[in-house]
Structure 1
Amino acid sequence: MNVLMFLGGVLFMVVVIAISIALHEVGHLIPAKKFGLRVPQYMIGFGKTIFSFKRGETEYGLKALPLGGYISMVGMYPPRPATEAGKQKKPGFFNKIFGQMVDDARSQANENVQSSDEGRLFYQLPIYKRVIIMLGGPFVNLLLGFLLIGVVITGFGVPTTTTTVSEVYQCIASAENADATECTAKDTEAPAYAAGLLPGDTITSVNGTAVAHDAWYELTGVIRDHPGQSIALTYTRGGVEQQTTLKPYLTERPVLDDQGYPVTDENGTMKTAQVGFVGMSSQVENIAQPVTEVPSVVGNQLLTIGNVILHLPQRMVDVAQAAFGTEERDPNGPVSIVGVGRIAGEINAHEGIAMGDKIASLLSLAGGLNLALFAFNLIPLLPLDGGHVIGALYEGVKRTVARIFGRKNVAPVDTIKLLPLTYVVAAAMLLMGGLLIYADIFKPISIF
C-alpha cells in the first residue's frame, strides 16, 4: 500500500506539472490571439506528436513527453537588415563567429511567416502588447499559486500553536539530574503541574485578559516576562471553566522571534535569556485563516524563492557538495522535478499524516511549484519569458530616446543576436537540471 501511495503522490505531481505548464502556455496564447498574432501551434509536451487537431489558424496537440509545452508565434525576430543581407559592410567580429548560426536560427524561426502576416508579426506589435503576451504565462502560474495556497490556508488551515495544553511536565530537572527520564526528590516541581493543569486544558485568559485560541506565544510571552510572580489563568476542561494561579520559574531559555523560532547570533549560536518557565507545551492545530492572509503567505514564499534564485550559483555549489560529499541537502534549497515528485510521494505514503493533511500538503506543494515557475520565468535572460520582456522594454526605451532627439526609422531590437548567450543559458539550465536530478535521486532532501 505504501508503494501505491508513493506512486500516487508522484503521479499527482506529474499531472500538476503538466497542467501548470499547459496553462502557462495558454497565458501566452490568449493575449497573442487577442492582439491578432498568428499562432501556428499550441503543443503540450515534446517529441513525437500523439494526436492533434486544428481550430482556425492554430494546431493543438499532445506530444509523447508531456512535461513541457510551447506555442509558436510568427515573426518573433525581425528579418536580417538589407545592408547585412547584401554584405555591403565588412562583417564584424560577431558576424564572423556567429553570423551563420544566427541566420540559420532566424530562418527557422521565420519559416512559418506568410505574406498575409505582414503587420501582425510579433516584432511588429506595440511594445506593451509584446510585454503582455510574454508575461501572460508567468501571470497564470502566479494565479494558480494564489488559488492553490489560498485553498490550503482558508480551507484546510495552517498548523498553529494553540492555547490548548498538549503536555505538562511534572518537574524541572536539576543540573545534576538533567539527563534523567523521571523526576527525583531533588527536582523542582514544575509550576504548570503544581497549578493542576492537564493535557487538553484550553487557557482562555491570563491575568484577566482574554487570549485567542491561536495566541500561544502571547500567553508564553507573559509567562517569560514574569518569573517569580503569580499569574492568574482561566482555562476550560471538558467544557467547564476553571481558574488557577502559577508562578513561573526563573530559568535560561532560548530567545524566540515573533513566530516562536529560536534566534541565533551572527555565528549561528542560539541566543538564550533568563526568563520565566512553567513546564507545559502547546497543542498544534490546523486553523483556517482569512482570505486577507493569502497575499502575505504568497509574498513570503516568493521572497524565499527569489532568494534562492538570486543566490542560485552558490546554491548549486551547495547541492554539488551535498550530492558528492557528506553534507546534508538544504531543505530550502532548489530541487528538480524528480525531487518535487519524490517529496509528494513521501508525503502521500507517510502513515503518520492524516489524509486531510496529505491533501493540504500536496496542494501547497503544487502552489509553491507554480510560484517557482512564475519567478523563474521572470529571470531576464533568453530563452526565458523575462528575456523577451527585457528585449521589448529595451526597444521601448530606444524608441523613446529616438523620439526625443527627432530620429526616425528606429530598427527593432534584434534579440536573436543574443543567440550565443541563449545557448549558454540553456546549457547552464540543462547542467543545473542534471545535477539536481542526480542529487534528488542519490542524495534527496529529507523531509521526515
Structure 2
Amino acid sequence: METFISVVIIFGVLIAIHEFGHLIVAKKSGILCREYAIGFGPKLFSIKKGETVYTLRLLPIGGFVRMAGEDPEIIDIKPGHRIGLLFNHQQHVSKIIINHLDKYPDAKLVTVETADLEKDLVIKGYDSEDGELIEYPLDREAEYVVDEQAFQIAPLDRQFSSKTKTARFLTIFAGPFMNFLLAFVIFVVYFSIQGVPSNAPKLGQLVENNPAIQAGLHQGDRVIQIDEQPINAWQDIMTYVNHHPNSLLTFTIERNNQQQKIDVKTNARKGPSGKQEGFIGVYAPTKHSFVASLKGGVSQTYFWIKQELVGLKMLVTGAVGLDQLSGPVGIYNVTGQFVSQGFLIVLNWAAFLSINLGIINLLPLPALDGGRLLFIIVEALRGKPIDPQRESIVHFIGFALLMLLMVVVTWNDIQKVFLH
C-alpha cells in the first residue's frame, strides 16, 4: 500500500506540473482552456474557476488541458434548430439553451437561420412569437447549455489554432519544460537537505561496522596524507584507497587543529572493472549552501538529461533492445524498492522520473508533445498549416502504436518481476 500511495503521489505531481505548464502558457497566450484534468476516465472531483474546469479523474495514468480549437466544438447549431436565448444587461446573448427548453421559462425561443459563434458572434433567427427574423449579438463570454451543463463559446481569437506559431510552440513546449524545472527544484531541495558533494580532502559520513569508523576516524577529519602520499582532494583519498585492497594504511589527519596518525586496514570488494578494490566505508564530504544547492541542481539535471539522451541513442541504434525498457509495472516495482530506502532516495527517483517524462514527451512522435511541435515546425517550413483532419489521423495512429508499445513493455515488466 505504501508503494501504491507513493506511485500515485509521484505521478500525480509530475502530471499536474506538466499540464500546468501547458495551462499557464495557454492562458497567457489568450487561449480558452476549457478543462485542466489530472487522470482519465470518470470524474471524481471537479471545480470551476474562471473559465476553466479543474477535474480529478479516476485513472491516474496521465492528464490533459482541453484547449478551444484543438478539437471540434462540442455543439454545432444548424439552421432550423430551436433554441432558447438569455441576455445580459447589454442585451447581448449570455446563454444559448440547446435542449430542455422547458426548464428555462425566461428564455427567448428562436428558430435558427444562421449561427456564427466564432467570427461575427451573432445568431440570426425567427422569433417564436411573431416570426420576425432578428439578429442577436453574442457576448464574447456567452455560454451554450447542453443537458444543463454550460460551455463557454470560443471566439476564433481565443482558439489554439488561431494563435501564432510561436505561441502554439511555447504552449506545447511548456509541459516538458516544467518537468525539467521540477527536477531541478527537487534536486535543489535534495542537496539542501543532504548537502552537495565536495572534493575537499575531508571525510564525509562514516558507515557503521566498516574500517574507517572502527579505526577511529571521524566525520570532518582533514586528510593530509596516506602513507607517504600527499592528499589534496577527496578524489586523491578514493584513488589511493581503491588501489590498496586488504592493506594497512596510515592516515595522517588534522582534527581540532592537531595532527595525528591513524592506521586503517582496508577491506576489498569487486569494482566495476572486475578487479579487487579497497574501501573503508566513507562517503564524500558535503557542503551546505544555497548557491551550492543551486549549482548541484543544475549539474544533476543536466547529467540525467544527458544520460536519457544517451539511452535513447542506444535504443535507436540497437545497442539495447525493447526488453530493457520499463513501463508502469517496472516503475512500480523500482519505486517500491526505493520507498524502503528512505525519503531522500524517493526524492531523487521522482526527479529522475520527471526528467524521463519531459524527454519522452519531446520525442517527435505523433500523439506526444514532440509530435505536435514537429507539426508546428513543418508548418513554419511549408508556410501554411497542415490539414487538421490529416494531422488528427496521424496523431490517432501514433497513439495506437504507443499503446501497442506500452503493452509490449508492460509484458516485459511482468516477465522480469513475476516470472524470473
TM-score (norm 2): 0.65
1:23 and 1:224, CA in 2 relative to 1: closer, same or farther beyond 3 A? closer
> What is the match of residue 340 of structure 1?
331
CA contact (8 A) 1:77 1:415 kept: no
Which is richer in strand?
2
> What is the match of residue 49 of structure 2?
55
Q: Deviations over 1:118-174 (max 9, x none)?
A: 2332222111101110011111111111111221133224688974787888xxxxx
* Unmatched segments (≥5 aa) in structure 1: 1-6, 80-111, 170-191, 247-252, 255-260, 264-269, 320-332, 400-410
1:147 and 1:245, CA in 2 relative to 1: closer, same or farther beyond 3 A? closer
> What is the match of residue 280 of structure 2?
281
> What is the match of residue 260 of structure 2?
242
Count the aligned residue pairs: 325
1:71 and 1:245, CA in 2 relative to 1: closer, same or farther beyond 3 A? closer
Which is richer in helix?
1
> What is the match of residue 76 of structure 2?
none
> What is the match of residue 177 of structure 1?
none
CA contact (8 A) 2:231 2:237 kept: no
Correspondences of 1:72-91 after superposition (within 5 Å): 72-76=66-70
CA contact (8 A) 2:241 2:279 kept: no
The offset of 1:220, in angstroms, is: 4.8
CA contact (8 A) 2:242 2:279 kept: no
1:286 and 1:437, CA in 2 relative to 1: closer, same or farther beyond 3 A? farther
Work out whether 1:317 is the aligned partner of 2:336. no
Q: Deviations over 1:392-421 (max 9, x none)?
A: 22222333xxxxxxxxxxx42335414444
Work out whether 1:156 is the aligned partner of 2:204. no
> What is the match of residue 392 of structure 1?
376
> What is the match of residue 300 of structure 1?
303
> What is the match of residue 14 of structure 1?
8
Matches of 2:255 and 2:333, distance apart in 1: 42
Correspondences of 1:138-287 after superposition (within 5 Å): 138-157=176-195, 163=203, 198=215, 200=217, 202=221, 204-206=223-225, 209=230, 211-212=232-233, 215=234, 217-221=235-239, 233-235=251-253, 241-243=259-261, 262=272, 281-284=280-283, 287=286
The offset of 1:56, in angstroms, is: 3.0
Corresponding letter in the other structure for 1:287: T
Corresponding letter in the other structure for 1:204: V
The offset of 1:304, in angstroms, is: 1.4
Greater mean deviation of Cα atoms: 431-440 or 133-142? 431-440
Matches of 2:279 and 2:216, distance apart in 1: 9
> What is the match of residue 414 of structure 1?
387
> What is the match of residue 382 of structure 1?
366
Matches of 2:282 and 2:366, distance apart in 1: 49
Greater mean deviation of Cα atoms: 429-438 or 28-37? 429-438
* Unmatched segments (≥5 aa) in structure 2: 74-115, 122-154
Matches of 1:301 and 1:339, distance apart in 2: 19
> What is the match of residue 42 of structure 1?
36
Tell me which of 133, 155, 161 is aligned to 1:123.
161
1:211 and 1:48, CA in 2 relative to 1: closer, same or farther beyond 3 A? same
Matches of 1:394 and 1:113, distance apart in 2: 30
> What is the match of residue 406 of structure 1?
none
Matches of 1:136 and 1:444, distance apart in 2: 35
Matches of 2:337 and 2:253, distance apart in 1: 39
